[in-house]
Amino acid sequence: MKKLVGVLAASALSIGMLSACNKSDDKTLILGTSADYKPYEFIDTKNDKIVGFDVDLAKALGKKTGYTIKVKDIDFNSLITAMNADKVDFIMAGMKKTPERAKNADFTEPYFTDQNEIVVNKDSNIKSVEDLKGKTVGVQAGSIQETKAIEVSKKVGFKVENRNRIPEMVEELKAGRFDAVVIEQSVASGYLNKLPEMQGELMQDFFEQSGSAVALPKGSKLTPKFEKALKELKEDGTVDKLVKKWFGELK
């Protein structure tokens, strides 16, 4: 029995040590992101590494605060749940602060602001929000675009459907199962450059004023460190350089 108790105690200790691996007193932090959101984060097919604006900025934040950053790809809708289960230490995924998200995570000040764009087929005759009446609009599950689309749909009268990944939404649009999809302008630009049969429409009803921010666990000791580092990276021009690198003439 003593041996069994000893084994159980050792197992409990091991589990405790493993669950602590992602805590902020370790010198390695795991960034949670959804690598389907170019140029924020995406998989470079040349080497299968996750790269992008958020990844570069996360590494710059890590350098400022003394941490090595590792990256983990998770469906956008599961990111906050994964963080609160200690699977990742913080989130950068083009994520914006909302009242609902703020119940389960702390957020830094925004580091980048973009606008939503409605992507449609050129032959769809969809030019305004009124043209969406009776249509099916695709959004990413758990995104701020989903929240906004549901809000607008109540006034206009269209169906909102979600998918976990942006490429899935685009495929549904190409197949005619969606009449339109709502994506951030900088992300939509990459698809529009490759899909000449598509076009983007800016509709003020879908605009958002909030910007992308870093999400961290509630009460995390990392939050003030990241706030300070982010402010310094804005002041020394690092953020602007990364915006120019990844977004080019968009900003």
Cα–Cα distance measured from residue 147 to residue 159, given in angstroms and rounded to the nearest whole number: 13
**pLDDT tens track for 78-115:** 999 999 999 999 999 999 999 999 999 999 999 999 89
As a whole-number percent, the residues of the chain with pLDDT over 90 amount to 85
Q: Quick one: DSSP state of residue 53?
A: H
**pLDDT tens track for 192-238:** 999 999 999 999 999 987 799 999 999 999 999 999 999 999 999 99
Q: Which helix (H) or strand (E) holds 29?
A: strand 28-33
pTM: 0.79
- Rounded CA Rg of the chain: 20
Nearest in space to 31 (alpha carbons), one of 16, 45, 49, 13? 49
Residues 163 and 169: beta-carbon distance below 8 Å? yes
Q: Could you give the domains of the chain?
A: 11-113+211-250 (3.40.190.10), 116-206 (3.40.190.10)
Q: In the predicted model, what is the mean pLDDT of the chain?
A: 90
Nearest in space to 214 (alpha carbons), one of 56, 91, 54, 67? 91
Long-range CB pairs of 100-104 (<8 Å, 24+ gap) are 100/147, 101/215, 104/80, 104/218
